[in-house]
Amino acid sequence: MVLEKQRPMNINRLELPALPDVSKDFIKGYVRLSHLYRGAMMEVSTKLDILDDEFSVTYDHNPIHHMECRLKSAESTVNKLKRKGFEVSTQNIMEHIQDVAGVRVICNYTDDIYRLSHVLEKHKDFTLIRKTDYIENPKPNGYRSLHLVVEVPVTISEVILRLPVEIQLRTIAMDMWASLEHELRYKSGKEVSSQSVDELRECAERLSAIDSKMQEICRRIRACD
């Protein structure tokens, strides 16, 4: 189930964001490009919906709790291009930015994450570009998630393009921690003390232990079915 859906931008009703040194032509090009990335994002979310239904029919279990889809804003994309040292252009977006389109998949259990990841990596329509496992190897701050970047075919008129989509797979506990940590660190506007950083990391470790225990209980109960 996709919880978030963004309506496509319209070039004729475009309101330009406050982006220094960025032309109106680039923004219009970005709007056209975002339409293509939206198509790639919908390809992934649709495949995941179908997979979730298949698991329900075959195994009487839905691995996906919910999904969230998002397109990177023009401002965020431009800033990322500049940080990477590239000229601001739609061509450089397509060649150097792999997370314009993103799908966040919230799973019930850790086993579900790896099961879905395995299927996505082997899917004939997708090409795996990158896999980063922050569950086996958490970030120093405690962040856990499995990230995949897959290349997806998008058909427009008579042309087929292949565009990257970033897929983040998390348990409910991982997502709760990541959302709250992001809120505290980046949206509060205040500097986070080293004590708070340590406490946040400790919370991540405790939630990871709860995830493991819930997974253990799930395996035991389902083994009895």
| Position 14 pLDDT exceeds 50 | no
Residue 98 contacts residue 166 (beta carbons within 8 Å): yes
| Position 12 pLDDT exceeds 50 | no
Residue 52 contacts residue 106 (beta carbons within 8 Å): no
β partners of residue 149 = 130, 166
pLDDT in tens, 131-169: 999 999 999 999 999 999 999 999 877 788 899 999 999
Report how far residue 150's alpha carbon sits from residue 163's, in angstroms, rounded to the nearest whole number. 8
- Looking at per-residue confidence, does 194 or 8 come out higher? 194
| Position 189 pLDDT exceeds 90 | no
The stretch 115-143 carries a mean pLDDT of 95
Domains of the chain with CATH codes: 11-173 (3.30.460.10)
Active-site positions read 166
Let me know how long the chain is. Answer: 225
In this prediction, residue 11 carries a pLDDT of: 43
Q: Looking at 47-177, which runs of residues are DSSP E strands?
A: 64-71, 101-107, 127-133, 146-156, 159-171
Cα–Cα distance list, 7 to 35, 123, 183 (Å): 10, 28, 25
